[in-house]
Amino acid sequence: MSYLEGEGLLSKPHHSAGRLPTDRGYRSCVDRILQALPLQGWEPFQPVQDQIQNSLQKSADAGSVIKVLASLLSQLSDNVSIILGPTWEAVRAVRVDVYPKESSRVLMVLVLENTLVRTGLFTLDRDYPAIVLNEAARILSERVSGRTVAEIRAGVLASVEVAASDAGRCASDLASRGQELFADVETGELQLEGVTNILNEPEFSEPGPLKSLIRFLESPGTIRDTLHRLNLESGGGLRVWIGAEIPVGGFKPFSLLSSSFNLGGREGILAVLGPRRMPYKRAVSGIQMLRNTLRSLS
């Protein structure tokens, strides 16, 4: 114990306390795990693999992959899972559909490639008949078809100028209000699961770590910025940040694992957050299982 303490692998918080691993001590352990796992292979038990594959296949059909990924990773790691879905910036539009609701309210549906959609319920300046709404949707479809979400956000809809007809005025009205469909598409869908997995851990017997965790999880902007920063540093590969290595204040009691994943040709981020003494092998294996299964389904 004295030797390990002298090497900086263990520390003694106070005189009567036992010894605890330092960040360096955990790093030594984690590095050995990361070196050994590729040699042992990533294949899980077949029933686990089947469950993962079936769940992801069903979620792909239902358009809920990100939510299911969060649930699966939380179960596989027994910690907090954070999934940052791919952005939509490079996705191209296929067409615009418009469906009349009550009075002058309409449902506007932007159909994108890879079966993705964006929807919004808007109130127009006046009540248009269905035939006019259909013609307005055709006009907008001609304008946006083949354009990327980034191009549309840059002003493709706002620049719609059409003839002074009912359909033209309706198309212009829809184009103006339809900008709201792209207000947050650059951020990607964010899903978290498994906070209750770690709340009973000894680290949370003191208020400081719990406050730091809640402050982080309640700030989607901070989560996104942190994951993007870590993903950039790791080049998209699987990496583990321990304690003070995490570039977020107040995170010394925690570790964070992250890795990019591919979904429909777009990149998202898988992450696991938990106490520094989390079961790293389980968390690392869980991330790799999901990456491999997504790759096989693509």
Q: Mean of the per-residue pLDDT values for the chain? A: 84
* DSSP secondary structure string for all residues of 163-194: -SSHHHHHHHHHHHHHGGGGSSTTT--EEEE-
Model confidence at 77, in pLDDT bands (50, 70, 90)? very high
How many residues in the chain?
298
Q: Which residue has the higher pLDDT, 249 or 84?
A: 84
Lowest mean pLDDT among 67-76, 158-167, 258-267: 158-167
8-state DSSP, 92: B
User: E-strand spans in 138-295?
Assistant: 190-193, 239-242, 254-263, 266-275
> pTM of the entire structure?
0.72
For residue 276, the model assigns a pLDDT of: 92
Q: Is 54 exposed, middle or buried (0-12, 13-18, 19+ CB in 10 A)?
A: exposed
Q: Yes or no: say if 174 and 108 are a contact pair by the CB < 8 Å rule.
A: yes
Model confidence at 88, in pLDDT bands (50, 70, 90)? confident
Average pLDDT over residues 170-192: 82
Q: Is the pLDDT of residue 180 over 90?
A: no
Q: Is the pLDDT of residue 30 over 80?
A: yes
CA 120 to chain centre: 22
Across 27-41, 63-77, 169-183, the highest mean pLDDT is recorded for 63-77
Q: Yes or no: say if 37 and 274 are a contact pair by the CB < 8 Å rule.
A: no
Across 32-46, 197-211, 269-283, the highest mean pLDDT is recorded for 269-283
Average pLDDT over residues 64-91: 90
Measured CA to CA, the distance from residue 245 to residue 258 in angstroms comes to 13
Q: Yes or no: say if 100 and 130 are a contact pair by the CB < 8 Å rule.
A: yes
For residue 14, the model assigns a pLDDT of: 59
Ramachandran bin of 130, using left for φ above 0, alpha for ψ from -120 to 50, beta for the remaining angles:
alpha
Q: Is the pLDDT of residue 288 over 70?
A: yes
Q: Yes or no: say if 105 and 120 are a contact pair by the CB < 8 Å rule.
A: no
Which domains occur in the chain, in start order? 23-87+187-297 (3.30.450.40), 93-182 (3.30.390)
Residue 261 phi, psi (nearest 5): -140, 160
Q: Is the pLDDT of residue 163 over 70?
A: no
Model confidence at 34, in pLDDT bands (50, 70, 90)? confident
For 96-111, the three-class secondary structure string (H helix, E strand, C coil) is EEEEECCCCEEEEEEE
Longest dimension (CA), the chain: 86
Q: Yes or no: say if 100 and 108 are a contact pair by the CB < 8 Å rule.
A: no
Q: Which residue has the higher pLDDT, 271 or 56?
A: 271
Count of Cβ atoms closer than 10 Å to residue 140 Cβ:
27
Lowest mean pLDDT among 84-93, 112-121, 178-187, 198-207: 178-187
